[in-house]
A and B are shown apart, each in its own frame.
Chain A
Amino acid sequence: MSDFFACLDQSPGDRARLIAANLILKSVHESDYSAACQVELTILKKQLQADYGVLVYRDEKNTIVTIDTDTLAVRTVKYAELDTIKTALNDTDKPFGWKGKFWKYPLCVSIMQGNGLVMYMVLCRESSPFTPDEKLIFQKTMLIVTDFETSRYDKMQEEIARQRAQSALQRTEKRLRTFFEQASDFKYMANADDIVASINPAGLKLLKISDRFEVVGRPFSLWNLSPDDRQLIWKKIEEHGFVQDHEVIIVCADKTKCICLESAQAVRDQAGNLVEIHGSLRNVSETIKMERQMWALNLEIVEANNQLKSTQMQMIQREKLASIGQLAAGIAHEINNPLGFLMSNHTMISKFIRTFEKACHRVKDLESDMYASIEKDLDLAYVFSEMDDLLLESSEGYSRIIEIVKNLKNFARIDDSEKFATYDLEKGIESTLIVARNELKYAAEVTLEFCGLPCIQAHGGLINQVLLNIVVNSAQAIRLKHGEAMGKIKICTKKVENLAICIIEDDGIGISEDKLLTIFDPFYTTKKPGEGTGMGLSLSYDIIVNKHHGTLVAEHSAMGGALFRIELPIGQFTAEDTVTG
């Protein structure tokens, strides 16, 4: 090597090129970068006859390390040492301190790539400073080496970046694989033809399948209850790129069904073609079961509440009726006693008047002139003619009082001797209409729609009383609305399960919403004082609800007026039962 140098003209440029060539040659033969650096440092120290040399560079792991010519050992550089070198770069007149020693004449150069440090090299002498030629050789050598070193630095950085990226990719893949494999939800991937490409263990568990390949390679729709639902999911994915929380029924391998919420997303290639979908299913069967139980409970609560309201209304009504029943019983009892002797006295007075009348006729036969005079003075002809009417009217009045007392007793159930008998409701309606003919003939046209009800067990007379009451009320309501014009009453019967139903509706004035619940109260009336007792519907309610365990409700009619709905239970009959109507 020395012969080779000797043949050169020894110009600084030539020497620098030669040294650089030698350095690069040595370096490229070294597979170990640190060993190559040791060679570089040693050659340069020798060529420039330095006493000491320090090299700072990045090793294969990108760590900044240092070696010096004393030990040639590689170690991690300290930050303070980097500051020392930076100072030496800026101020070459200062002595260079390294590892506790100070060198009087340092020669320092740096190789940088952007902001990244590639290399620092410091050569030091103790006895004499570096000549300008030596400095020039050093700088030119380093300049020539720079390309080589930066290229190596770039490659190293690229390699490090590649390794980092690969490592990151591996970590990501591992994470995703763990996420996919260990997810508690059913996860799958399917290709554009809906063929399953991958499924996680949770998916296999949900499908109750142990072998992954029973699913992989098959259409996903095999596990859907309805292939239409799968098509709907695909349609949504194709339109929107995803589907979220779409409820599907999955049929497992053992044919059990799971309710799942499916979310899936399209994966497209660069041309925008759908190549794959990634889906996730969550089993919500238990949640839905709980929701369903909650719905069922809500329904039960509503029904119980309705029943409670109805029972409460009935209890209130019964309480009212019981109160009025006690009052009615008392009144009936108190009236009945004086009524008994009044009726008896009335009968006797009638007989006595007949006797007195006969006596007068006898007097008239014996003393006709005298009788004529008395008759004229006292206007006996008028008295006798009016007396019959007065007695008849009184008799009618007593009969009415008896009827009222009887009704009061009936209401109070004082006399409950009447037995249930087989009763034909439709015949009962016809009979009632005959009785009410006078009330109806100038008020309404009656339409009948009978379904042919079977007979029921009932107090026929009481049911007829209810029918009469309602029909007469309808006629009165029609007159209030139509005046002299004719209205309409429609009576229909229905059989629903074990109930005989009679609906009476009219096109009269109807009942306001707030009155629908109070019309069955005792003494409720819309008529003028003296025209009605207000007991009719209350008694009717008692007859239907309490005596026959049926229902009586008032509603608005589609005809514009009121609608009364009577529901009576159809009982069991025996051959001995008497049919009444």
Chain B
Amino acid sequence: MSSLHEVIESIEVNPGITEDCLLYIYTSAEPRGLVLVPVGNLDTQSAEIFQNRLLQLIPVLDRNIVFIVDLKKIKYISSTGFGSLTNILIQCKKKNLAFYLTGASQKTMELMDILGFTTFFDYLDGYRLAE
């Protein structure tokens, strides 16, 4: 199994998921955790790759590290995108890891509500990036 550092590095080196989607990773100081920022479209094409990249992180994460997905740079997200986030949430719960969504625009929240995924997730008002 790769170490946390190796997985983070692999995401940093190759942020491209698809032509329309990128994934950036940061560490946050408060709460202490990892912040994943998908940029662009999280749709049928990109959702599975996005999910697989995040699932790589779960086995190597310490229980005290909070897992945060920041949706502020999402332009378009489909039910498949929310499905991938739910799958990540399930895997986090299996490992007793805290998983939060943050930065969702009003449009994304409305979409999530229509699709019925709102109640699945815990939401974070914000976070402070580590220096």
Residues from 204 to 253 in A contacting B, C-beta threshold 8 Å = 225-226, 228-229, 232, 245-247, 249
Residues of B within 8 A of A288 (CB): 79, 115-116
Contact of A259 with B120 at beta-carbon distance under 8 Å, contacts A249-B114, A303-B93, A558-B32 already known: no
Contact A247 B43 (CB under 8 A): yes
- A393 at the B interface (CB under 8 A): no
Q: How far, in whole Å, are A518 and B129 apart by their CA atoms in the complex?
A: 36
B92 to chain A, nearest CB (A): 9
Q: How far, in whole Å, are A247 and B111 apart by their CA atoms in the complex?
A: 11
Q: How far, in whole Å, are A176 and B116 apart by their CA atoms in the complex?
A: 37
| CB-nearest residue of chain B to A296 | B120
Most B CB within 10 A of own CB, among A247, A259, A299: A247
Contact of A259 among B32, B63, B79, B96 (CB under 8 A): B79
Contact B63 A299 (CB under 8 A): no
Q: How far, in whole Å, are A307 and B112 apart by their CA atoms in the complex?
A: 27
Contact of A292 with B115 at beta-carbon distance under 8 Å, contacts A247-B43, A247-B79 already known: yes
Contact B83 A555 (CB under 8 A): no
Contact B76 A295 (CB under 8 A): no
- A289 at the B interface (CB under 8 A): yes
In the A-B complex, the 3 residue pairs with the smallest Cβ-Cβ separation, listed nearest first, are A247-B78, A292-B116, A302-B93
| CB-nearest residue of chain A to B116 | A292
- B18 at the A interface (CB under 8 A): no
Contact A556 B64 (CB under 8 A): yes
Residues of B within 8 A of A246 (CB): 43, 78
Contact B41 A295 (CB under 8 A): no
Residues of A within 8 A of B78 (CB): 246-247
Contact A245 B86 (CB under 8 A): no
Residues of B within 8 A of A226 (CB): 107
Residues of A within 8 A of B41 (CB): 232
B82 to chain A, nearest CB (A): 9
Contact B44 A245 (CB under 8 A): yes
- A257 at the B interface (CB under 8 A): yes
Q: How far, in whole Å, are A245 and B79 apart by their CA atoms in the complex?
A: 12
- A30 at the B interface (CB under 8 A): no
Q: How far, in whole Å, are A561 and B9 apart by their CA atoms in the complex?
A: 26
A residues near B (Cβ < 8 Å) are 225-226, 228-229, 232, 245-247, 249, 257, 259, 288-289, 291-292, 295-296, 298-299, 302-303, 305-306, 555-556, 558, 563
Interface size in chain B (residues, C-beta < 8 A): 27
Chain A at the B interface: SS class: helix
| CB-nearest residue of chain A to B119 | A296
Residues of A within 8 A of B111 (CB): 225, 249
- B94 at the A interface (CB under 8 A): yes
Contact A289 B79 (CB under 8 A): no
- B24 at the A interface (CB under 8 A): no
Contact A291 B120 (CB under 8 A): no
Contact of A232 among B63, B76, B86, B110 (CB under 8 A): B76
Residues from 26 to 41 in B contacting A, C-beta threshold 8 Å = 32, 41
Q: How far, in whole Å, are A243 and B81 apart by their CA atoms in the complex?
A: 18
Interface 1/0s, chain B 47-88, versus A by CB < 8 A?
A: 000000000000000111000000000011011100100100
Residues of B within 8 A of A298 (CB): 86, 90
Contact A306 B96 (CB under 8 A): yes
A543 to chain B, nearest CB (A): 24
A353 to chain B, nearest CB (A): 60
Residues of B within 8 A of A558 (CB): 32, 64
Contact A555 B93 (CB under 8 A): no
A162 to chain B, nearest CB (A): 47
Contact of B93 among A245, A289, A296, A299 (CB under 8 A): A299
Q: How far, in whole Å, are A322 and B12 apart by their CA atoms in the complex?
A: 52
Contact of B116 among A245, A247, A289 (CB under 8 A): A289
Would you give 19 A-B contacts (Cβ < 8 Å), ordered by A? A225-B110, A228-B107, A247-B43, A247-B44, A247-B79, A247-B80, A259-B114, A259-B115, A288-B79, A288-B116, A292-B79, A292-B115, A296-B120, A298-B90, A299-B120, A302-B90, A306-B93, A306-B94, A555-B64
Residues of B within 8 A of A306 (CB): 93-94, 96
Contact B64 A229 (CB under 8 A): no
Contact B94 A302 (CB under 8 A): yes
Residues of B within 8 A of A259 (CB): 79, 114-115
Residues of B within 8 A of A289 (CB): 116
Contact of A299 with B64 at beta-carbon distance under 8 Å, contacts A232-B41, A306-B93 already known: no
- B8 at the A interface (CB under 8 A): no
Residues from 103 to 118 in B contacting A, C-beta threshold 8 Å = 107, 110-111, 114-117
Contact B90 A299 (CB under 8 A): yes
B52 to chain A, nearest CB (A): 18
Q: How far, in whole Å, are A288 and B112 apart by their CA atoms in the complex?
A: 12
Contact A292 B93 (CB under 8 A): no
Q: How far, in whole Å, are A288 and B116 apart by their CA atoms in the complex?
A: 9
Contact of B79 among A291, A302, A556 (CB under 8 A): A291
Q: How far, in whole Å, are A558 and B79 apart by their CA atoms in the complex?
A: 37
Contact of A299 among B62, B83, B86 (CB under 8 A): B86
B128 to chain A, nearest CB (A): 16
Contact of B83 among A228, A291, A302, A303 (CB under 8 A): A291
Residues of A within 8 A of B17 (CB): none
